[in-house]
Structure 1
Amino acid sequence: MNNCVLIMAVVATMAVGGTEAVAQPNRISPPNILVFLADDLGYGDLGCYGNPIIKTPHMDQLASEGVRLTDCHAGGTVCSPSRSALLTGRNPYRSGFFYIQGRDTHLRDNELTIAEILQSKGYETSFWGKWHLSALEKNSRDEPGPGDQGFDYWMGTTLNAFDGPKDAGKFYRNGEPVGKVDGWYCDVIVDQASDWLKNKRDKDKPFFMYLCSHEPHTPISPPREYSDLYDTPNTERLEKQTQYGDVERPKRDISQYKKEYYGTVNQLDDALGRLMQTLDSLGLKENTLVILTSDNGPETPVTLEESLGQWEDPIRDKCFGTPGDLKGMKRYPYEGGHRVPGIARWPGVIPAGLISDSLFNGTDFLPTFCKLAGAPVPSDRPIDGIDAFNAFLNKKVDRNVPSIWFYPHHGDTYFRMPQIAMRNKNYTLIGWLPRKDEGLGLKTWFVSSDPDRFELYDMIDDPQQEHDLAAEKPEIVAAMKKDMIALWREMRAEGMALKSE
């Protein structure tokens, strides 16, 4: 049994930019921290977020024991940028992640991660699952992996490399190849992490665990006992009522695949349930902060590409994730691309059954965890997140840097999609970069382009982003446009400097 004594005290603290007295946890020892990051899990995919089809009893229970965030955001609209933001507290574009890991894009060794900071405060750290921030296999680039970024023990894959059902992929453990592992991805990482909790960790130290599932990213192929649960007329009826972020669905009939997506999320829920059972059975529940979230919004089937006659990807026909009633999905800077499920549990600190509408962003993990561990936030580099623990208590969170999300498309495929979204208090400004001239290189276009067309939405009155207020509130657009361009240029310059090394 964990003997850590937990004491709650009300302390007067100064929030960034504010003077509100807030309740903060005060303890003899810092908490264990466990982050479970799903891949492409939509804001509307869980029962506790209103999904009428998918069974997610364990995630729903986690929410009933803690807080369900209704304004939680990934740090990016696709996976590698989001993962970079989570670990560094920095907008991913500063770290060179305009898009996903590959070629000259990886998490540099001079980035300071939350794992390194917690490690320096006496935490034992472990990582499990999809890394997607550098190549784990030995190659000529010799990119830093989890062990170089602060994780004492790790087992993972570069990305989603597996060939089919019950083949979790080519794992590496502490830098050494494990080979293909028999089992579904979420089951493998949960079983391995549970074994570490029981048998391998130093029980005299607090721990930081970071688990990244493959599910429900493509390729999607759950055990049949899960998909069969959704092979029913009622599923068919409810799916026809499902919203998909105003994103067009394929003209071809893909309805036969919906049961596989729903089954995959159900399977992921069971895997999380087993991990929570292990944690609780070891007496670790009371002093462990558990956070469940996703790296971006749900994946879309091939629609824009299909309508332009450019290419098809039948694997994505199995994508039936939903952002609920939000606009956009994965890649979109609209809300559905980056607003994600966010559930946090810490008994005795976070009230059970709480619903919070305070914004928590992917860049906030590092500063929030620093505060809990008694570590200073790095001061030698720009940190875009803040200590946002108040969001877990449904209290006000004040920010000195707006939250910003970006998807760097430049071709005709996504011509209907903006590139940038920036949130400041109640308002979100949506921006389009000018069309890239034919023959202009991507880097040149990035360096020289600023947003030149805008939409404005009030996120309190209109979270679905249906009513563009840009013409009605030009003064707000002008002020936010100035901030967006300044922040965009600053981040872009820092990220592009890396690509010139």
Structure 2
Amino acid sequence: MKFKFTNIHYILLLATAVLGSSCNSKKAGKIAKADPKPNIIIYLTDDLGYGDLGCYGNPIIQTPSIDKFASEGVLLTDCHSAGTVCSPSRSGLLTGRNPYRSGFYYIQGAYGAHMQNDEVTLAELLKTQGYETAFMGKWHLSRLEKSEKYDEPGPGDQGFDYWFASTHNAFSGPKNYGKFLRNGEEVGETDGWYVDVLTKEATNWLTKVRDKSKPFLLVVSTHEPHTPIAPPEKFSSLYDNATVDSLEQTIKYGGVDRTLYDISSNKKEYYGTVSQLDHAFSDLMKTVEDENAYDNTMVIFTSDNGPEHPVNLEESQGTWEEPIRDYCFGTPGIYRGMKRYPFEGGHRVPGIVRYPAKIPAGTTSDAMVVATDFLPTVATLAQAEIPTDRNMDGKDALSAFLGEKIERDEPYLWLFPTHEDTYFRMPHMAMRYDDYTLLGWFPEKTEEGTLVEWMKSSVPVKFALYNLSTDPGQENDLAASEPETVEKLKPIMIRTWKKIRDEGPDWGKLKSPKPKAASLTN
């Protein structure tokens, strides 16, 4: 049985005239063997909110380059990250699988989690079709620094020919960051801001390093606008004025209260960082044009999850007294929740795709797309075989990029199974079904057992229901007024969750890494 997802036009985006009309009814059709294999660029930002760009309705932040990019392709109004926090989202994007199947219950390192060697990534699939592959930026799927204690697979083990990456964010600050590794070798302190260093490295790879006779895959994974935030003054100064102060009152933060003290003077730093990101993205896109790769390159621009939660000492019960979060002014637009939240604002993210050879310019699409869909979409375009020896959650989304819907065999689940008091108001999972989203809570964790043991033995016992077509802000729980809908969806959520839950590894019992599939070792 298939569940057809009917999606929503959202008021927030209708005012964005630069994007033009909705996608026409042009059929995606099959990919012909004679079609040239497209180059692929995935540009993954960190903690960029659904409402943080001009083309998504932000009244303050200036993003002219990304807005122009959106006018050259399709803007997705119902695009979602694979998870609600960093590492799970990145795992899902690269593998096409719900990250909980791969054991990413939280971020890399938690409970021993890292991407295992037997996972098959998009880079590995494309290499079977003659692609040259590169990764730049934040990895956060394994510890890149090798030691006697840690020897985990890195980008080079997961299909990337060339990589310039850091294990985590630039926690010491985005300027002159000193923990990059290039193909396994420490680089030392770099000159400039994280995103600009990535742009320089990616440009050098595109223009001087790669074999230009081959199609390429380039993944650029920025630190920005994750905290800590410290943009060049030329960008932050754009937002140090009374007009911005007045517009700031119109910004929503997913139903999350702001802090109990005034941190408004810091907002210019966040807004400036997004403009800095826009500028760096423009430089990279110029390189693509200079390399005569504009028409036959699919560029996917997106985010790993919703915007970071601002500090609120009352709500966090004093546990989040982290000054870097005083700079969190990202917005999920009209949606509820932020990073980590299974509510819409935690995983609905910007999604823009430009591929002039096949996608009409200046279009929008309200078809639901999840980052797990990128692998099967790109694999199909590259005529690479998608693995059949494992459960895949992604679907070929090229039709969605042309304004059509996607039929899924199972609904998609987003999760954040915490039991901490900080998140006591938060559901543990969300499931999308047509216009509805069903939220589920696990039973309360007892003092016995670990978090993973609790999660892997639990199913949802409490539920909430929202209709996103009439209530995108998820303000009106319909569980009491539509009990028949809840009873219809509950067994689907529980069945889907059990399949994912039972496949995920128990890191405490995992003894040794599994080998790569034989078909991908050569």
Pairwise TM-score range, normalised by the shorter structure? over 0.9
Task: Please tell me whether the aligned partners of residues 157 and 169 of structure 1 are also in contact (alpha carbons under 8 angstroms).
Answer: no
Structure 1 segment 200-211 matched on structure 2, within 5 A? 200-211=209-220
1:144 aligns with 2:149: no
Provide the C-alpha distance between the structure 2 equivalents of 1:207 and 1:311, rounded to a whole number of angstroms.
Answer: 42
Structure 1 segment 322-337 matched on structure 2, within 5 A? 322-337=331-346
Deviation at 1:265, TM superposition (A): 0.2
Deviation at 1:304, TM superposition (A): 5.9
Deviations 1:332-362 (A, max 9, x none): 0000000000000011411111011001001
Provide the C-alpha distance between the structure 2 equivalents of 1:50 and 1:151, rounded to a whole number of angstroms.
Answer: 36
Deviation at 1:450, TM superposition (A): 1.2
- Tell me the equivalent position of 1:72: 79
- 2:70 aligned to 63, 75, 89, which one? 63
- Tell me the equivalent position of 2:27: 22
Task: Please tell me whether the aligned partners of residues 169 and 185 of structure 1 are also in contact (alpha carbons under 8 angstroms).
Answer: no
Deviation at 1:307, TM superposition (A): 4.6
- Tell me the equivalent position of 1:394: 403
Letter of the 1:138 partner, please give it.
Answer: K
Provide the C-alpha distance between the structure 2 equivalents of 1:268 and 1:335, rounded to a whole number of angstroms.
Answer: 24
Q: List structure 1 runs of 4+ shifted beyond 4 angstroms.
A: 15-18, 304-307
Letter of the 1:188 partner, please give it.
Answer: V
Deviation at 1:370, TM superposition (A): 1.1
- 1:231 aligned to 236, 240, 253, which one? 240
SS of structure 2 residue aligned to 1:413: helix
- Tell me the equivalent position of 2:114: 106
- Tell me the equivalent position of 1:97: 104
- Tell me the equivalent position of 1:9: none
Provide the C-alpha distance between the structure 2 equivalents of 1:16 and 1:207, rounded to a whole number of angstroms.
Answer: 35
SS of structure 2 residue aligned to 1:169: coil
Deviation at 1:440, TM superposition (A): 4.0
- 1:375 aligned to 380, 384, 396, which one? 384
Task: Please tell me whether the aligned partners of residues 452 and 506 of structure 2 are also in contact (alpha carbons under 8 angstroms).
Answer: no
Deviation at 1:443, TM superposition (A): 2.5
The 1:151–1:307 alpha-carbon spacing in structure 2 relative to 1, beyond 3 Å, is: closer
The 1:385–1:304 alpha-carbon spacing in structure 2 relative to 1, beyond 3 Å, is: farther
Provide the C-alpha distance between the structure 2 equivalents of 1:165 and 1:129, rounded to a whole number of angstroms.
Answer: 12
Provide the C-alpha distance between the structure 2 equivalents of 1:165 and 1:385, rounded to a whole number of angstroms.
Answer: 33
The 1:17–1:409 alpha-carbon spacing in structure 2 relative to 1, beyond 3 Å, is: closer
Task: Please tell me whether the aligned partners of residues 219 and 315 of structure 1 are also in contact (alpha carbons under 8 angstroms).
Answer: yes
- 2:466 aligned to 453, 457, 464, which one? 457
- Tell me the equivalent position of 1:132: 140
Task: Please tell me whether the aligned partners of residues 230 and 262 of structure 1 are also in contact (alpha carbons under 8 angstroms).
Answer: yes
Provide the C-alpha distance between the structure 2 equivalents of 1:304 and 1:440, rounded to a whole number of angstroms.
Answer: 29
The answer for unaligned runs of 5 or more in structure 2 is: 6-24, 511-522
- Tell me the equivalent position of 1:159: 168
Give the structure, 1 or 2, with the largest relative contact order (CA under 8 Å, sep 6 or more).
Answer: 2
Deviation at 1:413, TM superposition (A): 1.2
Provide the C-alpha distance between the structure 1 equivalents of 2:419 and 2:399, rounded to a whole number of angstroms.
Answer: 38
Superposed CA RMSD in Å reads: 1.7
The 1:21–1:62 alpha-carbon spacing in structure 2 relative to 1, beyond 3 Å, is: closer
The answer for unaligned runs of 5 or more in structure 1 is: 1-14
Name the TM-score, length of structure 2 as normaliser.
Answer: 0.90
SS of structure 2 residue aligned to 1:320: coil
The 1:162–1:333 alpha-carbon spacing in structure 2 relative to 1, beyond 3 Å, is: closer
1:45 aligns with 2:45: no
Deviation at 1:459, TM superposition (A): 2.0
Deviations 1:131-179 (A, max 9, x none): 0000111122200000000000110000113523522331101111111
Deviation at 1:21, TM superposition (A): 9.3
The 1:61–1:126 alpha-carbon spacing in structure 2 relative to 1, beyond 3 Å, is: same
The 1:496–1:479 alpha-carbon spacing in structure 2 relative to 1, beyond 3 Å, is: farther
1:172 aligns with 2:181: yes
Aligned-residue sequence identity (percent) comes to: 58
Deviation at 1:404, TM superposition (A): 0.8
Task: Please tell me whether the aligned partners of residues 3 and 411 of structure 2 are also in contact (alpha carbons under 8 angstroms).
Answer: no
Provide the C-alpha distance between the structure 2 equivalents of 1:419 and 1:132, rounded to a whole number of angstroms.
Answer: 22
Letter of the 2:282 partner, please give it.
Answer: G
- 1:355 aligned to 364, 368, 387, which one? 364
